[in-house]
Amino acid sequence: MYAAVLRAPGPVENQPLDYIDVPEPVPGPGEVAITVLACGVCRSNLHMVEGDWLPATPAALPIIPGHEVVGRVKAVGPGVENLTVGDRIGVQPIWSTCGVCGHCVSGHEQRCRRRQITGETRDGGYAEVMLANAAFACKIPDSLADTEAAPLFCPGITAYGAVKKALPRPGQNVAVFGIGGVGHLALQMAGLTGAHVNAVSRSLKARTLAEQLGARGAYVPAGIDGGLALRDGSQDAAIVFAPSDHAVAEALRVIKPGGRVVLGVAQSVGVMDIGDEKTVVGTVLGTRQDMADVLNIAVDGKLHAVHEDFPLSEANHVLQRLKTGQLHGRAVLVPGA
Ligand SMILES: [Zn+2]
Ligand SMILES: [Zn+2]
């Protein structure tokens, strides 16, 4: 099978992924092999490929990146009872968890310290075939196209987890900072709660998209030309996917006393005024139940993932375009396209 394999991290301009013929993986106990139909390209893939992601990531080299995958089951390993050949499934970044730790048994399996990560500790979806853990695979409703469904498995579940932590109530004001691959989904999900959603972005194109997707208003960060900024203390909650420390300060400024800021990207928070009793909370991915919820929202046509599709063989080129801001929506790799 063909795969885009990372042998040694480096700048994407130097084409660190080799598009080569490698042996097809054989599913072990509890695993299935899937023919990959679509795999989204995440900014964290870019970081790992360039060698500036989390410590000890990837866990080993060579590795095949890619953790937002849709595929069709082509072979079933021993002991798998929930999937059969021909099922169309999705694979999210959490490839598996231990299942027995305090996080796993209390409904927060995404926090498991012994989790395996698709495309980082296990080979991922930049390939014609990959292995999935049957217990973490999610069947995909027929009405969702492959390339529409793939981004739901990282941006979709990430956006869902962030909106849940913002605790929006009908009629409240929720600001979403950063209208990219995740933010454009978060604003749609926040709107489904009955909250009024206000998008904040430096980019006119992103602000226009936000309004098309149902944002009540579109703003710029304070001090940036080209539009209005949100008023101090005007929002009940703020969700931040903009990769800028300035965005955190802005989010803290625009929420009311007692309000919440949800951080979906790692940032420095700075000094907080305790007198306003504001909350800053991090969010990462979600549980298998969250993933099922996301698919149920999408199948009702209430969630539109903006994506651009490319052949798998162009993975290096796509990562370069991501790095230089030349993508419109999520890039999705399609093997055999
Ligand atoms: Zn991702
Ligand atoms: Zn665990």
Rg (CA), the chain: 20
Q: Where are the domains of the chain?
A: 2-154+286-334, 156-282
Ligand nearest to the Cα of 265, by number: 1
Using CA atoms, how far residue 211 sits from 148, 173, 215, in Å, is: 20, 15, 5
3-state helix, strand, coil in the chain (%, to 5): 30, 25, 45
Write the Ramachandran bin of 114: left for phi over 0, alpha for psi from -120 to 50, otherwise beta.
Answer: alpha
User: In this structure, what are the phi and psi dihedrals at residue 112, rounded to the nearest 5 degrees?
Assistant: -55, 130
**CA 248 – ligand 1 centroid, Å:** 21
**CA 223 – ligand 1 centroid, Å:** 31
Alpha-carbon span 29 to 79, nearest angstrom: 6
Alpha-carbon span 140 to 68, nearest angstrom: 13
Range 2-154+286-334: architecture per CATH: Alpha-Beta Complex (3.90)
pLDDT at 53: 81
Alpha-carbon span 254 to 74, nearest angstrom: 50
pLDDT at 337: 75
Asked whether the beta carbons of 83 and 137 are under 8 A apart, the reply is yes
pLDDT at 90: 98
pLDDT at 230: 97
Closest residue by Cα to residue 139 from 39, 71, 78? 71
Ligand nearest to the Cα of 98, by number: 2
Check if 2-154+286-334 and 156-282 are the same fold. no
**CATH classification code of 156-282:** 3.40.50.720
pLDDT at 244: 84
Asked whether the beta carbons of 329 and 210 are under 8 A apart, the reply is no
Asked if omega into 257 is within 30° of 0 (cis), the reply is no
**CA 288 – ligand 2 centroid, Å:** 13
**CA 106 – ligand 2 centroid, Å:** 10
**CA 70 – ligand 2 centroid, Å:** 25
Query: How crowded is residue 54: how many other Cβ atoms within 10 Å of its Cβ?
Result: 12
Average pLDDT for runs of 10 along the chain of length 337: 96 96 98 98 95 84 97 98 98 96 96 95 98 97 95 96 96 96 95 97 94 96 93 97 88 96 89 90 95 93 92 97 88 91
**DSSP codes, 254-304:** HEEEEEEEEESS--------GGG--EEEE-----HHHHHHHHHHHHTT---
Asked if omega into 62 is within 30° of 0 (cis), the reply is yes
Q: Which residues surround ligand 1, an ion (CB under 5 A)?
A: 42, 44, 154
